[in-house]
Each structure stands twice: as structure tokens, then as C-alpha cells.
Amino acid sequence: MKCRRGRPKCPRRIRAEPTIMCFKPCGIPRSEVEVVELAFEELEAIRLVDVDELTQEEAALEMGISRRAFWGELKNARKKVARALVEGQAIDIKGGNYTTE
């Protein structure tokens, strides 16, 4: 069991759960690719900044978290997506610690 230090992570506010839950490289059976898990709140961070073009401060307010916490979510999400694209991995979008509007 992993021991957690510091404050517990508060739930992030997301607009809605995504309808698409998986992406994978074309032409390769799913059983043959590694999978990266992207939490709903990580996808929300990418959506707010990269699609809706909010500033990190505006996006943090939307999600109900500090700018620093938001930056961490966005950094982790972008790293996971970049790794999946570069290394040909599948992306599963699921779960996390969130509430919906």
C-alpha cells in the first residue's frame, strides 16, 4: 500500500463525463498495445486550455482548484497524451476524483 503525504486531493469539477472513452493506434489489435490511463479531470484540463483556449488561471477557477494544482493536472495529461502518440500506445479515459456540474 502506498502511503500518501500531505492534504488529500479535492475533487475536480468537470463539465461532463466524456462520451469517447478510448483511442488506439490504427491497424494494431488492442491486445498488442500498451495502454495509458487518462483521468476525466486530466482530459478536462486539456479541453479547457487547448480547446476552449482559457488561461490556466481561468481553467483552474472552472475546475474549482488552485492554479498550481491545475498546472500539475495539465502537465501530467499532456505528458500522457504525448507519450501515447509518440510510442503508439492506446489511451483509456476513465475515472478520477471529480464532480460534474
Q: Give the model's pLDDT for residue 61.
A: 98
**48 falls within a domain:** yes
CATH number of the domain to which 67 belongs = 1.10.10.10
Residues 87, 77, 11, 15: what is their CA dihedral angle, to the nearest 10 degrees?
A: -110
Higher pLDDT, 5 or 66: 66
pLDDT digits (tens, 9 = 90+) for 1-10: 566 677 777 8
| pTM of the predicted structure, to 2 decimals | 0.88
Higher pLDDT, 58 or 7: 58
* Stretch 37-60: mean pLDDT: 98
- How many domains would you assign to the chain? 1
Residues spanned by the domain of 89: 16-96
